[in-house]
Structure formats: structure tokens, C-alpha cells
Structure 1
Amino acid sequence: MSHTSDDKKLLARVSRLKGQLEAIERALENKAPCGEILNLVASVRGAVNGLTVELIEDHVREHVSNPETDTDEARAQGATDLIQVIRTYLK
């Protein structure tokens, strides 16, 4: 998606996810306590949700409506509302 707001930022998120997954792998290999592994998994879930929000928001702004530039006020407000719902839902 070369049209996203900041590909470097997205790639940095993916790199962090790789590191988090490797940490889970190491924890499992070292038979870490369940609580520690669950916390690591929760961190990955949060990171994936953050990446998902970023991608969906970029998609809405690029292919549906950019609330900052759309001259149709109703469509711009609908896009703003949709982005906010997605941010809330995937928080």
C-alpha cells in the first residue's frame, strides 16, 4: 500500500511485532511462567490491533473519504465517525 500515510512507520510496527513474536517463542522454549507468556501474547494482540487501525484509517482516507479535504460535509463526517469507531473497537 504505497499510498499509506507513512510506510516507514508501518514497517517499524511490523518489525516490533516480529520482535514480540520472537520473545514469545523464546519464552515458550525456556518454559517461562504462563502469566509471562500471556502478557507477551497480549502485547502482540495490541500491536496487531494498532497496525490494523492504522491500515484501515489510511484506506478510508484514501479510498472512501478524507475528512480533511472532502467537500461533502456528510461524507466527511461519516468518514470521521467510521475512523473513530474503528479506533474505539480495536483499542
Structure 2
Amino acid sequence: MAHLSIHKDGLLKRVRRIAGQVQAIERSLESDADCEKVLHLVAATRGAMNGLLDEIVEAHAREHVAHPDLTASQRKKGVDALIGAIRRYSK
């Protein structure tokens, strides 16, 4: 998606940070860290994933739903894709 390419560097930084957070969770579990530490790491990772999702959802909505040059058919397709992603996320 071209509109994501504009923000690709920032998105990739977020993804790499999330990957590091997941690795920290793995290391904590391997080293038998206390559950409080693991809970904090998981919560932080979830927050980072939510932030990434928010950014991509916003970009999708602006480009594929709200863009003034879209036809009604294109908007419907964009809304359907957005609803599908939100439903998958909320399960």
C-alpha cells in the first residue's frame, strides 16, 4: 500500500521494538522471572501492538474510506476490509 510506504520507516521501527519486547518475554520465561515482571512485559507488548494497529487502521480509514476521490464502491470495499480486521482483532 503506497500510503503505508510513506510511514514505512516509523512502522518498521515499531515492529522491531515489538519484536524486541516479545524476545524479552521469552527470555523472562526462560529465566523463570517472577510473574509480575512477565505480566508487565506482556502488557507493554500488547500496548505497542495496539498502537501499531491504531496507526494502520487510521491510515486505512483515511485512504480507503474517507478519501474524497473514492467512488461509493471503493468506500464500501474499504469499510468492509476495515470491519473484517476489527472483527478479527476483537476475537
TM-score (norm 1): 0.70
- 5 Å-filtered alignment, 1:47-62, equals 47-62=48-63
SS in 1 for 2:41: helix
Identity %: 51
Q: Deviations over 1:4-62 (max 9, x none)?
A: 24111001000000000000000000000000000000001000000000000000111
Distance in 1 separating the partners of 2:31 and 2:15: 24
The one-letter code sitting in structure 2 at the alignment partner of 1:2 is: A
How many angstroms apart in 2 are the aligned matches of 1:65 and 1:7? Answer: 21
Aligned to 2:25: 24
Where do 5+ consecutive residues of structure 2 fail to align?
A: 69-91
- Deviation string 1:62-85 (CA, Å, 9 cap, x unpaired) is 11114xxx4xxxxxxxxxxxxxxx
Q: Which 5+ residue runs of structure 1 have no aligned equivalent?
A: 71-91
In structure 1, what is the equivalent of residue 2 of structure 2? 2
Report runs of 4+ in structure 1 exceeding 4 Å deviation. none
AA paired with 1:8? Answer: D
